[in-house]
Structure 1
Amino acid sequence: MGLVDGKVAMVTGAAAGIGRATALKFAGEGARVVVSDIDIEGGEETARMIADAGGQALFVACDTSDADQIDALVAKTVDTYGQLDCACNNAGIEGKIMPLVDQTMDNYDRIMAVNARGTFLCMKAEIAQMLKTGGGAIVNLASVAGLIGFPGLSPYVASKHAVNGMTKNAALEYGKAGIRINSVCPGGIDTRMLDSLAEQATQGAQDSHEMLDPLHPIGRIGVPDEVAGAIVWLSSPAASFVTGINMPVDGGFVAQ
């Protein structure tokens, strides 16, 4: 019996990386999964991977910075599967690396629209639905950049601190309604986003492993499935007394 047997889970940003790994993990632990992303090809591939492994999945295209699209995503989830038990708000972008004075408002606004506004809008729609059915579990994707600073990434750091703050606040507001809300804070994880950051930071001189493996006390960066495991556990009855936390999944990075 899986950790989330019989549950319905929704994952945004599920076309690749941590989102895809999380959707696959939910399905492997017994959930029916709604896969969402603006990347239609990648999202449909994730849904096919779940189906090919014997699970149930539906792909719904969604831009998480658009409230109407998020409302439609939640409505489609409920129309298809009858409920929404678990939600992972994973969609996010990293933007450009540069000192604060050189950051453009376009870069700042785009990052905040997806990472902070998008998480806020997703929680707003998800919680409204979960209140109708007596509870649920939400996990937001933050970052170690939501716990500490990273020079050159002011908008990204601001957006992920916002995610962690909203997580704690929403957990306080809806705990008695049976809705648990947590965040995970990945360190360096082997994804396209990390490759992009490493490319920017070193002008292509180093890949993400060369740059970041030595900075993690465990001796390496992580893989998406390691973050997915934490997300699904937080979403499951096994974590029934856990809410309002910002959990590092970082190989010891913020312990330094």
Structure 2
Amino acid sequence: MPSKGVILPASWGNLGVQLVDSGAIDADKFKAIYEQKGVFTDEYKNLLLGDNNGKIKITRENSGYYLNLFWALGLANKNPILDTGEMVDPRYGGAGNFASTGGWILAKGNAMDHYSKHAFITLTLEQQALVDKVSRGIYRPCCGNSVHFPDCNHGMAMLGLLELMASQGASEQDMWKTALVVNSYWFPDTYLTIATYMKEKEIKWKNVNPQEMLSASYSSAQGFANIASQVTKPASSQSAGGCGVDTGGAHANDSAPAQKQQSGCGI
């Protein structure tokens, strides 16, 4: 997890403005959770309200903010994965019953008023097929589901990022690589542990296969538990946030206690 951050193969542009204009993000609510802690920076303001944001650069400091932006994008953007996938399986009682929907409290109105309702990103058939394929192979350690079943904020946020990358011509390999980078910022302790496991197998982190690392065998809750049981866990790092709305609390000032990686999927 590079301390200086990583530039992703996608530009944010004016998506913040579109999310605010649609009501998927209530700008006043969104700003308030950062302003009350004194961390609503010029960068954050531009991402939310600016028109000409360039390539996305994710860092330890802003990873939680991007988590919230990507969450809103993934939830609100019209996509077949949300319309016909696991989220709407009748067995689960409706898409509104998940942490990724019920937990999004920063919209105007109810989160479900915006669920797969807005055409921020329109994909070609080929791009949609790519998002569908990659989303089925990306897991996160807070649960056992892939991004194709985005029932928590990290899954919904990753779906939004995949859609954005696909729409801007990212290759499949770029998407796997980027997803591993972003997951590593969102779950640093998890991937430090996995890196330790791979090192013990004499495989450097820079040489790992991103698709393999993101698979259920490594990145799902059960898969990671199996990996973690085989290594001595490294020192705990800082995390961009748990599975609720990130409030920027870890970065309020240099002396503030670090927010630790969390595994729950509630607010």
Q: Give the TM-score taking structure 2 as reference length.
A: 0.27
Q: Which has the higher contact order (CA 8 A, sep 6+)?
A: 2
Q: Give the TM-score taking structure 1 as reference length.
A: 0.28
Q: Is the strand fraction higher in 1 or 2?
A: 1
